[in-house]
Each structure stands twice: as structure tokens, then as C-alpha cells.
Amino acid sequence: MKNSAVWYPFTQHALEPAMRRIARTEGAYLVEENGARMLDAISSWWVITHGHRHPVIMGAIRSAAETYDQIIFAEYTHAPAEALAEGLIGIAPPGLAHVFYSDSGSTAVEVALKMALGFFHTSGRPRHRVCVMEHGYHGDTIGTMSTGERGVFNAAYAPLLFSVDRVPFPEPGREQATLDAFEECCATGEVAALLVEPLLLGAGGMKSYPASVLRDLKRIAERHGALLIADEVMTGWGRTGTLFACEQADISPDILCTSKGLTGGALPLAATLCTREIFEAHLSTDRRKTFFHSSSYTANPIACAAALANLEVWRQEPVGTRIEALVERQQRQLARFAGDPRFSDIRQIGTIAALDLSVPAGGYLSEAGPRLRAFFRERRLLIRPLGNVIYLMPPYCVTEDELKRAYEAIDEAAGLFAAGRL
């Protein structure tokens, strides 16, 4: 693989070892060509929910491929897209009434931003400001980079990015500062929307905050006529313990973005859900009020069929019970590190656990990250720390013994770091 023509994502080719080729996937595992079984402890970048190649979803893909390939999603529609939209509205927080399809988490958020600005523009009361939370990450397209944390991820592209208002992350004991900052932003009357990852910031370091903060942010937005966009791309589909994280705050966002687990992780698909008011603001005999957005593969029928099958899995199988079991397993395994000076900020939300390895230099570019990855790889574990932040986000089919093996490796790695041997 050293001579591969592929340019891999988030990969420094001058430093990384040769890519290892995966021959197949099954359950909680990636299987290499040599037969090595790698426990996928991060769900292949957070997308695989039930496990790799879930038979119901795979069967739906095979069946749809006998009937469909791509269909232009203008002038024409198809049954999988219509049924999926109805299904999503049926399980989403109350008040969301329309579904716009795209193909990734980044594009789902781009769609949401355009919906929000379009809503105010077509209503004849334009607002131009977008408010976001410090440390957030929403994707790697231009709009989502603009709304994400500025730094090494996007420094080279600064001339392309637009400015946003940022509120501080609600650190424990400083939650009011976040609310006050958002109130101040909204007082200008120019804020169109607040874009947040509800309850948990993913790539920003697996930082969690209370549901009460999300609830209060929604109230402030409503009081000032601003929209709340919930980026549930990572937090949705049970990751935080409920189907959508917003449920824990008992709120309905004005716009909700979902992807990753939407198809159980099997195929790329995204959806941006919005209220009837946002849709109807674009509904007009004036063509200039059209929502001008699309992609070539909008609402791919085979991907929609996979997502429909995922909904069926949630309806017919005890997914909630599996999630509850995983939550308890994470708690039991994480307890071994309570009070352990090798770690700080040991935390869990739903099925996701994270802890910071105590090293002299932390952060995303910490040298601990690549060394930890290599160590875990040797032990046949797919764990990709965010610098010195180690996290586990396994598929819901993972067993107690499999999870225990991952935690034992974390324990061993921390011991080697403390002894200066890793």
C-alpha cells in the first residue's frame, strides 16, 4: 500500500505507516487480509450503530439494487425517500415536519445554515449572524469549517471562511457565562440561528454539558426569534442514550441534522429536518424564494432503502435494551480509572466514554495520539484518540468481554506512558 495513489483523510502520509487493507467486516470487527480481527471500538468514525453488515440493512440494500440506481430528485421522487421522510418525522422531536436529503453530516449542516438564512431572507426580515459554541466541529466543507473551532484544521483556508459569533463552552460551574454570552449575541437582533452539537462535542474533545444548558439556550433563542439548529450527526441514533440527544433536554430544535447512524452506518446519507414555518417561508409563486440547494446524489434510493431498514431494526429489535446494556458496561469498565492520576476528566454520556491521558503536552496534535493508535493497533483494537483524549464509541453489539479487552489495553498503555516506555 506504500505506492497507493489514494490521498487518505486526516492522514500525514510522511509519518503514518502503510495502510492495512480490510478484507471484510462483521459485527464489531474489521477483518484484515491476513485474518487479523480488529475490534472497531469507534464504530468506524462513529457511523456503525448496530454492528457491521446488519442482515436486515444488507438485505434491503441488495433488494433495492435490483430495482434502483440513482434517480434525479427533482420532478421525480421514489418510494424509499417518501417512506423514509415519513418515518423520520414520526420519530423526530415534535414540530419537525419536512425532510431535505443530502449525503453527509457536513452537507446536512450546510443545508441547515442555508435554511436558516433563507428563512429570514424570504420572510423579508433578513438576519445574517450565526452563533456557535466554542470547541465545536460540524464538518469540513466551507460553511461547516466556518462554524467550527478555528485552528490547525482550517488555518490554511481562513480566506474562505465567514465570521460567526462564539459563546464559551459551558464548563462545569460556568454554565451561566455561556447563557449570558448567547443572550448578548441575540440582543443585537441579527442572530439567525444558534448551531450546536447537543450535549456532546465530538471532534472538539468529547466534551459534554448538561441538558439544562441546551434547554436554556433554546429558550433564549425563542425569546429573540432566533432558530436553534441541532447538529445530531454524531449524537443521534442512540449514542447519548436516547434516540436523539435533544430528547434529554425535552426540546424540539427548529432544524435537526442527521447522518452517520441514519443508515446504520452502511451507506452515506444525510437528512436535514425543519419546521413547517421554515418550509413555508420558501413556498411561493415567486421562484426567487426557491430553496436553491441540491447535490447529484440527493436521496439516493439505495441509501434511503438502507435507512428505512434501519428504522425497521429500531422498531423490531431490542435496540434500546442493547443501548442500556452498553451504557452499563461502559460504566463498569470506566470505574477502574476512578481517582487514577494517569487520567483526568473521566466522563461518560450514554454509550460514549472518554478520558484524558495525563501527558505534558495535550491537545489534538499531542504526540500521545499517534503512539496510542499504534499501540492499540498492535493489540487489534481500532481506537483513534483525539490527541491525548481516549474515547470509546463502539457499536451496540459489542460484548462485555470485547469492551473489557479495550479497557485493559487503555490501562496498559497508560502504564507504559507513566513509565516512559511508550
Blockwise average pLDDT, block size 10, the chain, 422 residues: 85 94 98 97 98 98 98 98 98 98 98 98 96 97 97 94 98 98 98 98 97 98 98 98 98 99 98 98 97 96 98 98 98 97 98 97 93 98 98 98 98 96 94
Q: Which of 114, 86, 111 is nearest to 100 (CA)?
A: 111
Distance between CA atoms of residues 65 and 303, nearest Å: 10
| 98: β partners | 274
- C-alpha–C-alpha distance, residues 304 and 73, integer Å: 12
Cell numbers placing 1 = 500500500
Grid coordinates of 58: 444488507
- For residue 32, what are the CA distances in angstroms to 56, 121, 397? 24, 52, 20
Instruction: Give the pLDDT confidence score for residue 3 in this predicted structure.
Output: 79
- Looking at residue 2, what is its pLDDT? 61
- How far separated are the first and last CA of the chain, in Å rounded? 26
pLDDT for res 391: 98
* Other CB atoms within 10 A of residue 14 CB: 5
Place of cell 462483521: 26
Distance CA 390, CA 41 (A): 11
Sign of CA dihedral 29, 30, 33, 34: negative
The reported pLDDT for the residue numbered 166 is: 98
In the block, residue with C-alpha cell 444558534:
194
Domains annotated on the chain, with CATH: 57-316 (3.40.640.10), 320-418 (3.90.1150.10)
pLDDT of residue 28: 98
Sign of the Cα torsion 184, 189, 191, 197 reads positive
